[in-house]
Structure 1
């Protein structure tokens, strides 16, 4: 291991030198193969990777749909499964999951079945476990006022409605106003298949969806009532726009050039710093980042202003049902109602105005677990 992004020390250098000496002592015909693994390739000393030492490097990415299905099959052998459990369906709905994520998913599903006094782990447990892994655990005990709950419902409805009107956006998996993790609510979108590259139209769609919550608050409650709940959305949109301008060459004014480069970066790790950064260039970079985010804001405002009736409809449905699936949202937009056999679960605990402490709301828009869509 080299010094990476910090300073080296004598012990580390002595360990490295001793390892290199030992490796150089092997003859070519001794039949000894040295295998090593690391999750921090950015801090490896280049001397370790020179020809004659670790010649072959294998990068292990997250599994594709076939890999996820096989990993699930291994972990499911330990569980008493109901007949409706289909590993292929679960694999299709978990893009970006690592092997550890899938193992955790199976464990969570088994725990849910045990809490519900079920002898078999059914598909419903896997769906609920997936929501817990991707969106965080429900916090139904959290105290929210009616005004806060209404604000959250319109915020999430704004995200969902803009997503439905952006053809390049990923389909909605679930929208909820039940507090999960550190968020008051969220709209989770999932890609229909594994993606390895992302197009400009999808990035612009993601910017519009990110701004949908803030725009909905402004349309319904007015400029002075816009909340801090969009802080996570603004951070995500700014980061995406910055990457579009400085890394992916998607600014017509700046051209297809890279204005930020990684230091000690390998496999996306390390720090970034601007290069070619004259005063005028830096100013233009900031202007282009602002323009992209404001374009997304304008797209969201155009959709929600034109479809304010649907915004009210979706927000009222979320207040009534608290959690809606993507299929239920599509049904609501087409038919004006949701055919759900069970009764609404009722509201979250409500206190008198002024009697709660509310954390800022964040949103998740795509699978890794990142607040950002995969690859954005």
Structure 2
């Protein structure tokens, strides 16, 4: 209308601000923009208190510890976690929700429901065990990887196995060394397959996608390549280069494009060779972890530490 003040407040929300029509954000339309990030540690603990206040909890339930084990979870994830834990406790005919119910619920939320009908051959199960053991062992040997909380070779969702790594605290900034360590850890599964079986399988597809994305961002967005230099080659529109998150600015030369590709390949190859070297130097530990996984299927972080102590695994003393 033509009234100066119609006493109407218009609110809008989106989780994809990058695709909004710029016309919507012009002055006089949506003037005030409020960013709501995922909750931090304290926020997650408070949200857990809200969703568990009407649920009977066992004395061993530690909401602060659960908050530490759920980095990146938003309110809906935490609500789902509490509901899943309650369902598991009810199915197990417990009078209260125990910490183990929450631990199992975290697995369900992160990795999906266990696929009991999915039959895996013994040969493939051995490969999966070595693959996951490779991830876990490399993560334990390098200095800046997140702690390993659990390893599993039980199929869940689309995954045949997984390694659950949880940071000690919420983190918002990452150094080049930390990203290189993350890449080395991601590539540890593929490296273990090649080392043990002298061939690779399609099981590392997701790992390669994740690793390539991290390496691309290091070169294109974070300025972490000495040859490319401290430059950001991404922008908000253009040809899709990193899926929905990053788009390559094609205003630069073909020579620069080739250099970017070379640097991404170099970073991935160096991290892959580093992972293989660490596994080769600690091959006894790799075998011991895989054998234990084949026996118990799920290996907790504490037990992993015990195994590494038994075989005398040697952590990397300096970044390669």
- TM-score normalised to structure 1 length: 0.77
Aligned equivalents of 2:56 and 2:266: distance in 1?
Answer: 54
Alignment of structure 1 residues 7-156 onto 2, 5 Å? 22=1, 25-27=3-5, 33-156=9-132
The one of 224, 235, 254 equivalent to 1:279 is 254
Taking structure 1 as reference, are residues 334 and 250 closer, same or farther at Cα in structure 2, changes over 3 Å only?
A: same
Q: What is aligned with 2:205?
A: 231
Q: Secondary structure at the match of 1:255?
A: coil
In the alignment, the residues of structure 1 paired with residue 109 and residue 293 of structure 2 have an alpha-carbon distance, to the nearest angstrom, of: 22
Q: Is the 8 A contact 2:137 2:286 kept in 1?
A: yes
Query: Once the two structures are superposed, what CA deviation does each residue of 1:292-313 show, in whole Å capped at 9, x if it has no partner?
Result: 0000111101101111111111
- Does 2:271 correspond to 1:296? yes
Are positions 1:184 and 2:160 aligned together? yes
Within 2, Cα distance between the matches of 1:76 and 1:26?
47
Aligned twin of 1:250: 224
Separation in structure 1 between the aligned mates of residue 216 and residue 245 of structure 2, nearest angstrom? 17
Deviation at 1:236, TM superposition (A): 1.2
How do 1:187-226 residues align onto structure 2 when only pairs under 5 Å count? 187-222=163-198, 225-226=199-200
- Is 1:105–1:133's contact at 8 Å kept on the other side of the alignment? yes
Answer yes or no: is the 8 Å Cα contact 1:171–1:192 preserved in 2.
Answer: yes
Instruction: Return 292-301 or 33-42, whichever deviates more.
Output: 33-42
Distance of aligned partners of 1:83 and 1:43 in 2 relative to their CA distance in 1, 3 Å threshold: same
Partners of 1:247 and 1:258 within 8 A in 2: yes
Specify the alignment match of 1:15 in structure 2: none
Displacement of 1:92: 1.3
Alpha-carbon contact 2:284-2:311 (below 8 Å) kept: no
What residue is the counterpart of 2:303 in the other structure?
Answer: 328
Q: Secondary structure at the match of 2:236?
A: strand
The CA deviation at 1:43 is 4.0
- Helix, strand or coil for the counterpart of 1:84? coil
Q: Per-residue CA shift, 1:164-209, capped at 9, x if unaligned?
A: 1111111111111111111111111111111111111111011111
Quick one: structure 1 residues 54 and 280, their matched pair in 2 at CA, closer, same or farther if it must change by over 3 Å?
Answer: closer
TM-score if structure 2 supplies the norm length? 0.90
Structure 2 gaps, min length 5: 313-320
Cα 1:126/1:226, change in 2 over 3 Å: same
1: distance between equivalents of 2:186 and 2:73?
Answer: 23
Equivalent residues of 2:18, 2:236 under 8 A apart: no
C-alpha distance in 2 between matches for 1:143 and 1:52: 60
Moved over 6 A (4+): none
- Computing the radius of gyration from Cα coordinates, the structure with the larger value is 1
Give 5+ residue unaligned stretches, structure 1: 1-21, 338-376
| Rounded Cα–Cα distance in structure 1 between residues aligned with 2:276 and 2:179 | 17
Q: Relative to structure 1, is the Cα distance of residues 154 and 45 closer, same or farther in structure 2, using a 3 angstrom cutoff?
A: closer
Change in Cα spacing, 1:309 to 1:95, as seen in structure 2 (3 Å) is same
Greater RCO (CA < 8 Å, at least 6 residues apart): 1
Rounded Cα–Cα distance in structure 2 between residues aligned with 1:276 and 1:89: 48
